[in-house]
Amino acid sequence: DGGITQSPKYLFRKEGQNVTLSCEQNLNHDAMYWYRQDPGQGLRLIYYSQIVNDFQKGDIAEGYSVSREKKESFPLTVTSAQKNPTAFYLCASSILNPGEQFFGPGTRLTVL
Protein backbone atom coordinates (compact mmCIF):
# COMPACT_ATOMS: atom_id res chain seq x y z
CA ASP A 1 0.00 0.00 0.00
CA GLY A 2 1.43 3.36 -1.01
CA GLY A 3 0.89 6.35 1.19
CA ILE A 4 2.03 8.59 4.00
CA THR A 5 2.22 7.46 7.57
CA GLN A 6 2.42 9.62 10.65
CA SER A 7 2.97 8.34 14.11
CA PRO A 8 1.73 8.42 16.71
CA LYS A 9 -1.87 9.52 16.19
CA TYR A 10 -2.03 11.15 19.63
CA LEU A 11 0.94 12.45 21.58
CA PHE A 12 1.13 13.99 25.02
CA ARG A 13 4.17 15.83 26.34
CA LYS A 14 5.05 17.96 29.30
CA GLU A 15 5.81 21.61 28.79
CA GLY A 16 9.51 22.23 28.18
CA GLN A 17 10.17 18.94 26.43
CA ASN A 18 11.17 18.60 22.81
CA VAL A 19 9.13 16.12 20.79
CA THR A 20 9.69 14.63 17.32
CA LEU A 21 6.82 13.75 15.01
CA SER A 22 7.38 11.08 12.42
CA CYS A 23 6.41 11.30 8.73
CA GLU A 24 7.23 8.57 6.22
CA GLN A 25 6.11 8.20 2.59
CA ASN A 26 6.61 5.42 0.06
CA LEU A 27 5.18 7.34 -2.89
CA ASN A 28 8.63 8.30 -4.20
CA HIS A 29 7.67 11.96 -3.91
CA ASP A 30 10.39 14.60 -3.92
CA ALA A 31 8.49 17.31 -2.03
CA MET A 32 7.32 17.00 1.56
CA TYR A 33 5.55 19.47 3.84
CA TRP A 34 4.57 20.03 7.47
CA TYR A 35 1.41 21.94 8.35
CA ARG A 36 -0.14 22.97 11.62
CA GLN A 37 -3.91 23.13 12.03
CA ASP A 38 -5.63 24.71 15.03
CA PRO A 39 -9.34 24.12 15.77
CA GLY A 40 -11.53 25.75 13.14
CA GLN A 41 -8.49 27.07 11.30
CA GLY A 42 -6.83 26.51 7.98
CA LEU A 43 -3.49 24.86 7.28
CA ARG A 44 -0.38 26.87 8.07
CA LEU A 45 2.92 25.80 6.54
CA ILE A 46 5.75 25.15 8.99
CA TYR A 47 8.53 23.78 6.77
CA TYR A 48 8.82 22.19 3.36
CA SER A 49 11.45 20.28 1.45
CA GLN A 50 11.76 19.86 -2.29
CA ILE A 51 14.78 17.57 -2.26
CA VAL A 52 16.85 15.49 0.13
CA ASN A 53 19.16 17.50 2.40
CA ASP A 54 17.34 20.75 1.64
CA PHE A 55 14.37 22.46 3.26
CA GLN A 56 12.80 25.90 3.53
CA LYS A 57 10.94 27.71 6.28
CA GLY A 58 7.24 28.19 5.87
CA ASP A 59 5.07 30.81 7.52
CA ILE A 60 5.37 29.66 11.14
CA ALA A 61 8.80 27.98 11.45
CA GLU A 62 9.78 29.51 14.80
CA GLY A 63 10.08 26.87 17.50
CA TYR A 64 10.24 23.99 15.01
CA SER A 65 13.05 22.13 13.26
CA VAL A 66 13.18 19.51 10.51
CA SER A 67 15.62 17.26 8.70
CA ARG A 68 15.48 15.52 5.32
CA GLU A 69 18.22 12.93 5.31
CA LYS A 70 16.21 10.44 3.27
CA LYS A 71 13.67 10.94 0.50
CA GLU A 72 11.09 8.90 2.40
CA SER A 73 11.34 10.66 5.74
CA PHE A 74 10.71 14.21 6.96
CA PRO A 75 10.59 14.31 10.79
CA LEU A 76 9.45 17.45 12.61
CA THR A 77 10.77 18.42 16.03
CA VAL A 78 8.62 20.68 18.16
CA THR A 79 11.04 22.40 20.50
CA SER A 80 10.45 23.94 23.91
CA ALA A 81 10.77 27.34 22.18
CA GLN A 82 7.40 26.86 20.50
CA LYS A 83 5.03 28.84 22.71
CA ASN A 84 1.74 27.15 21.82
CA PRO A 85 2.61 23.67 20.55
CA THR A 86 -0.77 22.00 21.17
CA ALA A 87 -2.26 21.46 17.70
CA PHE A 88 -3.00 18.98 14.92
CA TYR A 89 0.10 18.40 12.78
CA LEU A 90 -0.25 17.22 9.19
CA CYS A 91 2.48 15.96 6.91
CA ALA A 92 2.04 15.90 3.15
CA SER A 93 4.01 15.02 0.04
CA SER A 94 3.80 15.72 -3.67
CA ILE A 95 5.62 14.80 -6.86
CA LEU A 96 6.05 18.44 -7.81
CA ASN A 97 5.95 21.67 -5.93
CA PRO A 98 3.19 22.54 -6.14
CA GLY A 99 1.34 19.48 -7.20
CA GLU A 100 -1.42 17.37 -5.76
CA GLN A 101 -0.56 16.97 -2.10
CA PHE A 102 -1.16 13.68 -0.33
CA PHE A 103 -1.71 14.09 3.39
CA GLY A 104 -0.98 11.71 6.22
CA PRO A 105 -3.55 11.02 8.95
CA GLY A 106 -2.01 13.62 11.27
CA THR A 107 -0.71 13.69 14.83
CA ARG A 108 -2.62 15.46 17.59
CA LEU A 109 -0.05 16.88 19.98
CA THR A 110 -1.10 18.00 23.43
CA VAL A 111 1.40 19.72 25.67
CA LEU A 112 0.41 19.65 29.33
Partner 1 sequence: GQQVMQIPQYQHVQEGEDFTTYCNSSTTLSNIQWYKQRPGGHPVFLIQLVKSGEVKKQKRLTFQFGEAKKNSSLHITATQTTDVGTYFCGWGETSGSRLTFGEGTQLTVNP
CB of 82 to partner 1, least distance (A): 20
* Residue 106 lies near partner 1 (rule: CB under 8 A): yes
DSSP E strand boundaries for 8-106:
10-13, 19-25, 31-37, 43-51, 54-57, 64-66, 76-78, 87-94, 102-103
Nearer to partner 1, 58 or 63 (CB): 58
- State which of residues 25, 33, 71, 82 lies at the interface with partner 1 (CB under 8 A): 33
Q: Amino acid letter at 80?
A: S
CB of 106 to partner 1, least distance (A): 5
* Residue 60 lies near partner 1 (rule: CB under 8 A): no
- State which of residues 26, 41, 53, 110 lies at the interface with partner 1 (CB under 8 A): 41
* β-pair type (107-111, 10-13): parallel
